[in-house]
């Protein structure tokens, strides 16, 4: 007798139906996101001094457990990271640039948080501890439940010694937070370093999933066109990109930046242009170094003229040691900070300038250009410029940041032959602004959704009707 239904075939059809039924669920399971594995607290527990957008970010970062806060300069990253560290169940180590440690301790006191300054593991106390990046090797990461990287753009270098040490040292730390205002100013690679430090994804895995290699130069990776939306959705699952409070739906208010005024002072290179009909820009690095050396006296003289003509605070940025030395002699009340100075001198000079005890500070962006709050000053001068956009950006942002109430004057004192350097900086600045806009644009709604999801929604019950009890509940036998 012929059996009309093939059981084996039926099983296959059934399996296929089940498989098709769950295909959407399967696709959802492949979506790249970062799971929350942190600490959940109520908004009422947070310090009321924090602005609402700051509270949102702290709640979100706590819930994630491992997160990055990419927030504009002056948005209060110091207060947010200290409040985050306060609720981590165990000891926390904050790593910060030189002199920023003491500034962090001062800021934390404003919200009633004690932060302990450490030189080594022996100095650690229960709670929140802070040290400089240079002293990382003196600490045992296994003793901490949480770590915070202040000015985490230090992770930018793929082959950097500090970057590799940080990733290796804290690979098993349960709670991690990175904070910076300038993630990947020129490309996407720094984001890969951040996600690897946080344990979200390996750097090389990120490249393989989202990027395509453009050719011979191994540093040139391009975001896949079809992967763009998914890439930013993934970024927003572990990082909050905020350029101003309105990105999270709040009013900007006091967080509107004042005017930035750029003043160019072009110095003639009379030695090089003598006998020439037209001045030719210095193109090679060697030519540019020679131009700087030939015009050093003229550039220093112009800067000293500007600074000595006012009693206002002034921040002066140099690229050469000779510039710094000559300026210190030409400006009577200036304090010079060089790479060869002791850490104690560097730290004291930066803190004294921030507190108004020093009128003029002279240094290089690589030394004093990261992390410090110099809103007390609204005047700065660059006695020559380099090709590093990040150093230029960070140097300007020491003064031009949220909290600054005066227009900021930036004086660029450069040779007429340094146009190629200036053009390169302007290009990088444009690229960085475009990238930040893209980051904010792509992540704004996702970030809002993710951060608002950390809020506990409650409904207030308003009784408008009397309760009607059933007869059996109203009987004498059931009365209490």
pLDDT of the chain, 480 residues: tens digit per residue? 444 444 454 555 555 554 554 544 544 444 555 555 789 999 999 999 999 999 999 999 999 999 999 988 889 999 999 999 999 999 999 999 988 999 999 999 999 999 999 999 999 999 999 999 999 999 999 999 999 999 898 887 645 788 889 999 999 999 999 998 865 544 577 888 899 999 999 988 998 888 887 665 555 777 887 788 888 888 888 998 888 898 888 898 888 889 999 999 988 865 554 444 445 565 566 666 777 778 899 999 999 999 999 999 999 999 999 999 999 999 999 999 999 999 999 999 999 999 999 999 999 998 998 889 999 999 999 998 888 888 898 899 999 988 899 999 999 998 877 777 788 888 888 877 777 777 777 777 777 777 776 654 333 445 555 666 566 655 554 444
Q: Cβ contacts of residue 83 below 8 Å, gap of 6+?
A: 46, 47, 50, 54, 58, 111, 113
Could you give the CA distance from residue 231 to residue 236 in angstroms, rounded to a whole number?
A: 9
What is the model's pTM? 0.79
Rg (CA), the chain: 28
Supply the pLDDT for residue 277.
41
Report the residue count for the chain: 480
CB atoms near residue 381 (< 10 Å): 26
Task: Report yes or no: 165 and 154 within 8 Å, Cβ to Cβ.
Answer: no
pLDDT for the residue 473: 58
Are 404 and 256 in contact by the 8 Å Cβ rule? The answer is no
Euclidean distance between CA atoms 415 and 428, whole angstroms: 20
**What is the C-alpha separation between 155 and 376, in angstroms, rounded?**
29
Q: Dihedral, CA atoms, 386, 390, 391, 394, nearest 10 degrees?
A: 140
Note the pLDDT of residue 219. 58
What is the per-residue burial (b if ≥16 Cβ within 10 Å, else e) of 257-270? Answer: beeeeeeebebebe
Distance, in Å, from the CA atom of 265 to the CA atom of 301, rounded to the nearest integer, reads 12
Please state, as a whole number, how many other Cβ atoms lie within 10 Å of the Cβ of residue 471: 6
Tell me the pairing of strands 92-96 and 66-71. unpaired
**Closest-CA residue to 97 (of 78, 112, 71):** 78
Would you state the pLDDT for residue 36? Answer: 59
How far apart CA 466 and CA 59 sit, in angstroms, is 39
Query: Given this model, what pLDDT does residue 27 score?
Result: 42
* Phi, psi of 98, deg, nearest 5: -55, 140
Query: What is the set of domains in the chain, with CATH numbers?
Result: 50-252 (3.40.50.300), 257-431 (3.40.50.300)
* Contact partners, residue 402, CB within 8 Å, separation at least 6: 72, 73, 74, 75, 244, 254, 255, 257
Q: Residue 450 has what pLDDT?
A: 73
> At a CB cut-off of 8 Å and minimum separation 6, what does 135 contact?
118, 119, 120
Contact 283, 257 (CB under 8 A): no
Whole-number Å distance between alpha carbons of 41 and 171: 25
Angle at 408 between CA 404 and CA 413, to 5 degrees: 145
The answer for residues whose C-beta is within 8 angstroms of residue 256's C-beta and 6 or more apart is 244
CA gap 168, 94 in Å, rounded: 16
Q: What is the pLDDT of residue 285?
A: 63
The burial class, CB within 10 Å (0-12 / 13-18 / 19+), for 80 is buried
User: Could you tell me the strand order of the sheet in which 115-117 lies?
Assistant: 115-117, 128-132, 92-96, 146-150, 175-180, 66-71, 239-242
């Amino acid at each position: 007798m012929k059996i009309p239904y093939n059981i084996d075939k039926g099983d296959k059809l059934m399996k296929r139906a089940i498989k098709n039924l769950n295909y959407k669920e399967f696709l959802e399971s492949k979506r790249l996101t970062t799971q929350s594995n942190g600490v959940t607290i109520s908004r009422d527990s947070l310090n009321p001094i924090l602005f609402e957008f700051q509270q949102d970010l702290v709640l979100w970062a706590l819930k994630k457990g491992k997160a990055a806060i990419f927030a504009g300069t002056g948005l209060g990253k110091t207060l947010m990271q200290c409040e985050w560290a306060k609720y981590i169940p165990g000891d926390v180590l904050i790593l910060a640039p030189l002199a920023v440690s003491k500034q962090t301790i001062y800021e934390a006191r404003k919200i009633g948080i004690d932060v302990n300054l450490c030189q080594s593991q022996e100095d650690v106390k229960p709670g929140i501890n802070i040290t400089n990046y240079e002293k990382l090797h003196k600490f045992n990461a296994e003793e901490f439940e949480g770590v915070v990287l202040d000015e985490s753009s230090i992770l930018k270098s793929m082959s950097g010694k500090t970057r590799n040490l940080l990733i290796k040292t804290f690979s098993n730390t349960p709670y991690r937070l990175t904070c910076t205002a300038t993630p990947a100013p020129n490309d996407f690679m720094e984001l890969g370093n951040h996600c690897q430090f946080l344990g979200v994804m390996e750097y090389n895995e990120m490249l393989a999933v989202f990027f395509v290699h453009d050719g011979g130069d191994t540093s040139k990776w391009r975001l896949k066109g079809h992967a763009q939306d998914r890439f930013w959705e993934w970024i927003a699952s572990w990082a909050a990109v905020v350029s101003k409070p309105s990105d999270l739906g709040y009013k900007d208010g006091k967080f509107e930046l004042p005017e930035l005024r750029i003043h160019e002072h072009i110095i003639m290179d009379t030695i090089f242009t003598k006998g020439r009909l037209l001045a030719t820009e210095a193109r090679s690095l060697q030519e540019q170094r020679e131009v700087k050396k030939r015009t050093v006296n003229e550039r220093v003289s112009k800067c000293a003229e500007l600074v000595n003509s006012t009693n206002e605070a002034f921040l002066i940025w140099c690229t050469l040691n000779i510039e710094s030395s000559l300026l210190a002699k030409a400006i009577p009340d200036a304090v010079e900070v060089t790479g060869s100075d002791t850490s104690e001198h560097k730290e004291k000079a930066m803190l004294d300038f921030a507190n108004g005890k020093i009128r003029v500070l002279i240094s290089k962006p690589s030394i004093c250009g990261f992390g410090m709050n110099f809103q007390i000053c609204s005047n700065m001068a660059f006695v020559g410029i380099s090709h590093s956009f990040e150093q230029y950006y960070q140097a300007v942002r020491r003064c031009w940041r949220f909290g600054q109430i005066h227009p900021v004057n930036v004086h660029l004192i450069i040779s007429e032959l340094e146009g190629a350097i200036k053009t390169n900086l302007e290009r990088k600045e444009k690229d960085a602004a475009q990238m930040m806009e893209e980051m904010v644009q792509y992540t704004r709604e996702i970030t809002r959704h993710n951060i608002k999801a950390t809020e506990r929604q409650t409904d207030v019950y308003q009784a408008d009707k009397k309760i009607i009890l059933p007869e059996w509940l109203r009987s004498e036998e059931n009365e209490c």
